[in-house]
Structure 1
Amino acid sequence: MLTPENTVIGFIGTGVMGKSMAGHLLNAGYSLVVYSRTKERASDLLDSGAVWADTPKEVAERAAVIFTMVGYPTDVEEVFLGESGLLQHGKPGSYFIDMTTSAPSLAVKIYEEAKKKGIHAIDAPVSGGDVGAREAKLSIMVGGEEEAFEAVRPLLEYLGTNIVYQGKPGAGQHTKMCNQIAIASNMIGVCEAIIYAEKAGLDPENVLKSITTGAAGSWSLSNLAPRMLNGNFEPGFYIKHFIKDMKIAIDEAERMEMDVPGLSLAKSLYDLLAEKGEENSGTQALYKYWKN
């Protein structure tokens, strides 16, 4: 059993969501080793007792369980498969849990390479944004061997409330693609509804009181529409990362010979925003498409 007394946890990637997630594990009493490309992002964790590592290699050498929450599949590949990466230096029996939204095919590759070294690799992307990470209420979608999932489930329970084992390696990432596809079209609907309310001369905040609890209700409508109205476009989830996710989903859909017109439209709108310098804004900045 992976208890605070016998387990050192590593956490790689302490950005908007990763910092909160790592903090929950630290608060649970686990010894925590952290690495991020920008050390300043880990300053709060270090002040609270986490130990800094200069490379993923150092994390692999110190920790028995390692969480990763980085930006892009290229980052995942570097962290796991690079010369100073986790698989090159990880200990047999370790558990590697990648919570980055990444390509399902890469998750399978990491699993296969890890298995050769006696390491358990799990893909466990999340949904819930900065709020879910901060409140430990993330949805966690897990792919990998079920026995490995059950071993780390108690740790995942410090991070989320909806933890579902989806199946074989890569299944967690495929499930996250389903999540992102649903969000993509929904965000268009949320923005259009708010803009429509404004143009009709309604009080949008009052409109939200009616529609958030009805059939139109969604997480984005309840959590992101108020941010739009308040002019708050700070990232709970970056546009640049959402574009990355949508591209992965489109590529996977093409492999399955599936047409995704709603997803393609959403990506095209977000691409336009990114070209206008909004790539580091939160996904709710799609609202600006109608305002610019």
Structure 2
Amino acid sequence: HYETAGVLAGTWNRTPQPDFPQWKNSAATVASQANIIQIAVADPAAVQSVLEAILTSLDNTKIVVQSSTIDPESADKFRTQVLATGARYLECPFTGSKPAAEAKQTVFYQGGDEALIAELDPVLSLISAHRIRIGDHRQACALKLAMNLNVSAQMQGFSEALTLCRRAGIGNEVFQNAIERNTTYSGLLQLKWPQVRDEDYAPFFSIKHMHKDMRLAEGMPEVGDLQLLALVRERLATAEANGLGDEDFAALFKLLK
């Protein structure tokens, strides 16, 4: 979408993707040619590696938009590193599958300076349906992890409900007829029920990435006695240990078969 709008200065990926639009051979090259650098990688360690590659290219003309799913403590660290160069920093994780991104239905959770958020809105609106202003950078991270906890827990509950029905001899058609008329039916179940029904676990969001997010959430000091988080994290760990890490997190259902 950035390319279509004519605002894309360059792209880079840790795994080379020379067919990407405006592909560059290094993150530093992208950072030197762009005024806004948006980072979307797998985890805090990956964000750190990107920052180490681009920090010398940053100055007071640059803005770093950090869109990876990370924990609040990592956001503190990354923000400090970026601000030390004179550049500005916005914590801006997002939610939405690959099809949602292609349809510009991504939702950003923005934490940081209100003036910076307003300045970036014309750019981020090119690739998203909604941009929710949260508060500070730590809160943006916390909200994204909380949303992923919610969808993981829903997926585990759905998997157990379906398993209970199947063990009771209730077929897919009856189950679908019931769940679609239940108050718990959601956009998530609309997406995941066909995957489970058809046993097609091509990843929209993988087990390994959801497991990573639940580990990050579990490490937050605010967690306290959130027992469902611990349970979901354990189930995701079991799924990954059983070779399901690259499958969609709907494959949690396979642990119950």
| Matching residue within 108, 111, 126 for 1:158 | 126
Contact 1:72–1:102 (8 Å) recurs in 2: yes
- Change in 2 beyond 3 A, CA 1:209/1:88: farther
Q: Residue 52 in 1 paired to residue 23 in 2?
A: yes
Which structure 2 residues correspond to residues 248-267 of structure 1 after superposition, within 5 A?
248-252=216-220, 255-256=221-222, 258-267=224-233
Give the SS at the match of 1:165: strand
Residue 93 (structure 2) aligns with: 125
Residue 7 (structure 2) aligns with: 30
- Change in 2 beyond 3 A, CA 1:212/1:36: same
Give the SS at the match of 1:216: coil
Residue 253 (structure 2) aligns with: 287
- Change in 2 beyond 3 A, CA 1:257/1:203: closer
| Matching residue within 64, 73, 76 for 2:44 | 73
Give the SS at the match of 1:141: strand
Residue range with higher mean Cα deviation, 204-213 or 154-163: 204-213
Q: Shift in Å at residue 202 of structure 1? A: 3.0
Residue 4 (structure 1) aligns with: none
In the superposition, the TM-score normalised over structure 1's length comes to 0.83
Q: Deviations over 1:181-240 (max 9, x none)?
A: 212211111111222332333332453344235311223211112111111111111111
Q: Deviations over 1:69-123 (max 9, x none)?
A: 101110011111x2x2x22222322111111101212212222232232211111
The amino acid across from 1:75 in the alignment is A
The amino acid across from 1:260 in the alignment is L
Which structure 2 residues correspond to residues 1-292 of structure 1 after superposition, within 5 A?
24-40=1-17, 43=19, 45=20, 50-80=21-51, 82=52, 84=53, 86-212=54-180, 214-252=182-220, 255-256=221-222, 258-291=224-257
The amino acid across from 1:73 in the alignment is P
Contact 1:239–1:283 (8 Å) recurs in 2: yes
CA distance, structure 2, for counterparts of residue 206 and residue 132 of structure 1: 29
Give the SS at the match of 2:10: strand
CA distance, structure 2, for counterparts of residue 206 and residue 223 of structure 1: 18
Contact 1:194–1:225 (8 Å) recurs in 2: no
Q: Deviations over 1:5-43 (max 9, x none)?
A: xxxxxxxxxxxxxxxxxxx21122223301112223x52
The amino acid across from 2:22 in the alignment is V
The amino acid across from 1:165 in the alignment is R
Give the SS at the match of 2:11: strand
In the superposition, the TM-score normalised over structure 2's length comes to 0.93
The amino acid across from 2:247 in the alignment is S
Q: Number of residues paired by the alignment?
A: 257
Contact 2:201–2:251 (8 Å) recurs in 1: yes
- Change in 2 beyond 3 A, CA 1:257/1:135: closer
Q: Which runs of 5+ in 2 are unaligned?
A: none
Contact 1:190–1:220 (8 Å) recurs in 2: no
The amino acid across from 1:280 in the alignment is D
CA distance, structure 1, for counterparts of residue 9 and residue 195 of structure 2: 33
Q: Shift in Å at residue 282 of structure 1? A: 0.9
Contact 1:93–1:119 (8 Å) recurs in 2: yes
